Amino acid sequence: MGYGFKKIFSAFAFLMCFVIFGTAQAVPNVTYEVHVSGLGWMSRVRNGSTAGTTGQSRPIEAIVINADNNNAISYNAHIAKIGWQGWRRGGEVAGTTGEGKQMEAIAIRLSSSYSNNYDIYYRVYVSKRGWLDWVRNGDIAGTTGQGRAIEAIQISFRNRGSSSRYDRYDDDDDRYSHDRRHRYDEDDRYNDRRNSGNWDNSSGRSRYDDDYDDYDDWRRSNRRQGNSW
């Protein structure tokens, strides 16, 4: 009797583990492909992989996103000189091709039938900024009014309310993004000063060079700590 009870209990425990953990992994697939300046349409990727390029200054100009159910996903792209284009359904092209107009921001959302069970997470790599923070469920990824192109994107489903690798890395992303933005902000300010013509002609140095030397020391210190740019 005791042995039979143990077998039943073990089988029940196994079934519950399968239901809990198996269901948690059964999220829909999402695939996406991008049209990149100078390269055209790139190969389709899926489930959090990177579409586009980084470090090559090649803007994304158009995107197509597909889900297991294309009626469950829609997306809206902000395009240079056009603005927000309007919502597209899964499988439709957002953006332009052959017009040289970069994509600068994107929002992705789910239908009510999917949003009750899933979240859609995405983040973008922006020119002169790098990877921005993860956003989800219709939030805007990228920038508007700054002329900064999206160069790469990652998209992934997850179970609604469940923990994920994105949560674990959010703090690291925040720290890295802050340091990276600080670097570019300092560069912008330095270049503005340098281009202003405010030079000490007697020495041939800008009066701001000492400030930049201090900043360069800060940047080298970050590299020594593993924060490569």
Burial code of 129-148, b = ≥16 C-beta within 10 A, e = fewer? bbbbebbbeeeebbbeeeeb
Beta bridge partners of 119: 158
- Under 8 Å between Cβ of 123 and 154: yes
100 closest CA partner among 61, 128, 127: 61
- Under 8 Å between Cβ of 126 and 151: yes
d(CA 112, CA 73): 10
Dihedral of the CA atoms 79, 151, 227, 206 (nearest 10)? Answer: -60
pLDDT single digits (tens) 55-101: 999 999 999 999 999 999 999 999 999 999 999 999 999 999 999 99
Q: What is the rounded average pLDDT of the residues 119-123?
A: 98
d(CA 203, CA 207): 9
* Mean pLDDT, the chain, integer: 77
- Under 8 Å between Cβ of 66 and 31: yes
- SS3 (DSSP) at 85: coil
Q: What is the rounded average pLDDT of the residues 132-145?
A: 98
pLDDT single digits (tens) 192-228: 444 455 434 444 444 444 444 554 554 555 544 544 4
Burial code of 29-48, b = ≥16 C-beta within 10 A, e = fewer? ebbbbbbbbeeeeeeebeeb
* Domain definitions of the chain by residue range: 28-162, 169-224
- pLDDT for the residue numbered 220: 54
